[in-house]
């Protein structure tokens, strides 16, 4: 009998019935192993985001905002399933240390006020879009594998909307500039976690040093009108 739950990337177990199946991956062996290293990092972020948006929705007295936050949480759970299906399509690799680092990072994002949390989320989701864009750059191994690229491109498209919503909620409730320091610190921390997998990025034709620098540089317009 197939278990009704599956182990998640970082945060416990989830319903197996809602799973998305594996896909045919055409990457070379080295590229496939590199992507297998990165997918759990991305998946941990999607799991954490779903938990965070559900929590923010439960505490928000603005019904429209709460509904939008719940919708994003649902999309993050879809992303988690898409990435888990992708992970099942790739060779097994040892990523326990990366998972632990990613888990600690995402737990720390929830500190402080709601606006501080949303500012960090906006910054991190924008960073995820940057990471996915580098992986999907034309001519890269990921971009050449259509089935993999389509799955990651779908996630990137959704994440751009998530950035807009988190940003808009911060700007509607506070002076966004007040939270630029916490958002920037979150991006620097993200860059540090991502660089634990620098070799995997390099194997996928992404310059890890440049990626680290770009992740650590928060766009000055992110939290300003």
* CATH class given for the domain over 26-216: mainly alpha
To 5 degrees, how large is the angle CA 173–CA 178–CA 180?
Answer: 110
pLDDT in tens, 150-185: 999 999 999 999 999 999 999 999 998 899 999 999
The answer to whether the CB of 148 falls within 8 A of the CB of 25 is yes
Instruction: Of 22, 211, 213, give the one whose Cα is nearest residue 133.
Output: 211
Please report the pLDDT score of residue 6 as a whole number.
54
Beta bridge partners of 68: none
Mean pLDDT value of segment 73-93: 95
Tell me the domain boundaries of the chain: 26-216
pTM, two decimal places: 0.94
- The four Cα atoms 131, 137, 139, 141 give a dihedral, to 10 degrees, of 30
């Amino acid at each position: 009998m197939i278990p009704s739950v599956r182990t998640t990337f970082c945060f416990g177990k989830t319903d197996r019935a809602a799973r998305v199946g594996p896909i045919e991956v055409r990457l070379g062996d080295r590229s496939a192993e590199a992507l297998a290293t990165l997918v759990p990092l991305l998946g941990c972020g999607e799991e954490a985001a779903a938990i965070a948006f559900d929590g923010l929705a439960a505490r928000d007295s603005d019904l429209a905002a709460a509904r939008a936050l719940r919708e994003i949480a649902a999309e993050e759970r879809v992303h988690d399933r898409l990435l888990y299906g992708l992970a099942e399509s790739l060779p097994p690799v040892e990523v326990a240390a990366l998972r632990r680092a990613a888990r600690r990072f995402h737990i720390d994002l929830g500190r402080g006020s709601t606006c501080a949390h949303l500012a960090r989320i906006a910054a991190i989701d924008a960073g995820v879009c940057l990471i996915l864009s580098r992986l999907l750059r034309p001519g890269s191994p990921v971009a050449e594998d259509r089935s993999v690229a389509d799955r990651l491109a779908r996630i990137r498209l959704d994440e751009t909307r998530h950035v807009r919503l988190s940003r808009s909620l911060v700007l509607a409730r506070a002076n966004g500039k007040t939270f630029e320091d916490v958002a920037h610190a979150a991006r620097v921390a993200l860059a540090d976690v991502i660089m634990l997998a620098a070799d995997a990025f390099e194997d996928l034709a992404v310059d890890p040093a440049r990626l680290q620098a770009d992740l650590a540089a928060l766009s000055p317009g992110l939290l300003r009108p």
